[in-house]
Amino acid sequence: MIAIGFELRRRGHTVRFCTSETYRVKLESLGFEFDAMRPDATPENPAMAHMIKEIMDPRKGTERLIQGLIGTTVRETYEDLLRAVTGPPAMDLVVSGELVYPAPLIAEKLNLHWASYITAPMSFFSAHDPPVLPPFPRLAPILRRAGPAVNRAVIGVIKIVTRPWSKRIRGLRTELGLPPGKDPIYEGKFSPQLVMAIFSTVLAVPQPDWPRNTVITGFPFYDGESAQVPLPHLLAKFLEAGDPPVVFTLGSSAVHDPGNFYEESAEAARLLKRRAILLMGRNPLPTRLPDGVIALEYVRFSDLFPRAAAVVHQGGVGTTGQTLRAGRSMLVMPYNFDQPDNAARIARLGAGKVIPRGQYRARLVAQQLRELLDNPNYAQNSAEISRRIAKERGAESACDALERLL
């Protein structure tokens, strides 16, 4: 959204962000207008740290997120977003992600332009391109062979089972005097005016049951305030000292629930006899590491990934997009949400391999990485995907679609 915000601002539009308080300093420092929106999902909050562990659970996590964190604060979210939209100055267009359930209610009540965006193919829940369901990943191959009719039936059952999750959201719609709408978790999250799929056609192409007003924009990459920021001295020195390293990262969310990921990763690098970099976020940096392995809090992915031999990550769509852009093969250890589905797509593309979180042990990781690094097909496929993504202009395409709507 920052990438799209910059491009909109370059075209002369006023851009206001309404999101968690944790982003205020960053967004205001970039010159954007900002309004805080509850819930404030700050990972440093001890209560939130515990909830992140629950949310990342593939069986109960999605229910905990929607019914718990989002559902219990939906009225507060509505109030905060309404205040941001009505200004002053009032906004002409609302652009919202699928979990901001009050956005369509505000757009409908105020008769505003509204565009929704989807970050990963799984969110379409297509019967023609069935997603990997996090609680039942082993069903995925069966569903892909079963065909649209069977998949529609399975998706229908899922919608019935999960309907109670949206009770508070539907209750708010009734309180606002709006007529009954579509299920907010599924069809109701898609704007009838514009749906932006902000990922690459490498991952998915439009399906017959996608909303007809969907535009695939490509990834809108944001690379930081300046492309001229030098690499940290320790990292620059390390990169110059030997062969390209394997990079291990858990992105921006799973990093708050790492488990034994970093310990097993360091040991896997030792067994593999490969140099490695651990990107650990704010987790405590280890005091001792194998030779040729370093640990850092954060490095901009666009600076580091092109210099990696391979990337091991959690399968979030942002990390996946940056790895594809860099043309590097990957080993994906998915947690929840879209991550198992993204991982499966990478495997089908021949750009990487998948390892279940419960099997993430040093010896198996080393074995999988050895197969990735020794097989030239993975590198060739990844390089070809990188060339395709380089031709996409995600932020510009998104802004073109938004301006057509306006």
Confidence grade of residue 45 (pLDDT, cut at 50, 70, 90): low
Nearest to 249 by CA among 299, 193, 197: 299
Q: Which of 121-135, 163-177, 218-232, 286-300 has the lowest mean pLDDT?
A: 218-232
| Alpha-carbon gap, residue 290 to 278, rounded angstroms | 12
pLDDT band of residue 50 (cuts 50, 70, 90) is: confident
Q: What's residue 337's pLDDT?
A: 96
- pLDDT, position 47: 66
Q: What dihedral angle (degrees, nearest 10) is formed by the CA atoms of 324, 330, 333, 338?
A: 20
pLDDT in tens, 179-202: 999 999 999 999 999 999 999 999
How many Cβ atoms sit within 10 Å of the Cβ of residue 273?
11
- For residue 54, count other CB atoms closer than 10 A to its CB: 15
**CA gap 137, 58 in Å, rounded:** 10
Helix (H) or strand (E) holding 324: helix 317-326
Average pLDDT over residues 321-328: 98
User: What span, in angstroms and rounded, lies between the C-alpha atoms of 219 and 55?
Assistant: 25
SS3 for 328?
A: coil
Task: Name the residue with tokens 């969110």.
Answer: 123
Quote the pLDDT of residue 230.
81
Q: What is the pLDDT of residue 42?
A: 73
Q: Which pair of tokens denotes residue 147? A: 């065909």
Q: What is the pLDDT of residue 369?
A: 98
Taking residues 305-329, what's their average pLDDT? 98
Question: What is the pLDDT confidence band of residue 225, given thresholds at 50, 70 and 90?
Answer: low
Q: What pLDDT does 285 receive? A: 84
Residue 380 has pLDDT above 60, yes or no: yes
- Rounded-to-integer distance, Cα 172 and Cα 114, Å: 19
Kind and range of the H or E element at 332? Answer: strand 330-332
Within 10 A of 87 (CB to CB), how many other CB atoms are there? 12
Closest CA to 299 of 352, 256, 251: 251
pLDDT band with cut points at 50, 70 and 90 for residue 37: very high
Kindly indicate the confidence band of residue 232, based on its pLDDT and cuts at 50, 70 and 90. confident
- Residue 112, phi then psi, degrees to nearest 5: -100, 155
Of the listed ranges 188-202, 222-236, 287-301, 332-346, the one predicted with least confidence: 222-236
Span 105-128, average pLDDT: 98
Q: Report the range of poorest mean pLDDT among 222-226, 244-248, 334-338.
A: 222-226
d(CA 103, CA 101): 6
Q: Name the percent of the chain lying above pLDDT 90.
A: 91
For the chain, domains (ranges, CATH) are 37-216 (3.40.50), 233-390 (3.40.50.2000)
Helix (H, G, I), strand (E, B), or coil: what is residue 38? coil
Q: Give pLDDT tens digits for 236-274.
A: 999 999 999 999 999 988 999 999 999 999 999 999 999
Query: Which tokens hold the place of 153?
Result: 């039936």
The answer to whether the CB of 401 falls within 8 A of the CB of 111 is no
Specify whether the CB–CB gap between 56 and 335 falls below 8 A.
yes
Q: The whole model's pTM is what?
A: 0.95
Instruction: Determine the Cα–Cα distance for residues 339 and 357; give it in Å rounded to an integer.
Output: 11
> What percent of the chain lies above the pLDDT cut of 70?
98
Tell me what the mean pLDDT of segment 88-112 comes to.
Answer: 96
Please name every residue paired with 313 in a beta bridge, in sequence order, or none if there are none.
Answer: 332
Binning pLDDT at 50, 70 and 90, where does residue 58 land?
very high
Average pLDDT, the chain: 95
What average pLDDT score do residues 62-90 get?
95
Residue range 365-391: mean pLDDT, rounded: 98
Alpha carbon 45 to its chain's center: 21
Dist. CA 25–CA 10, nearest whole Å: 21
Mean pLDDT throughout 20-24?
92
SS (H, E, C) 98-157: CCCCHHHHHHHHHCCEEEEEECCHHHHCCCCCCCCCCCCHHHHHHHHHHCHHHHHHHHHH
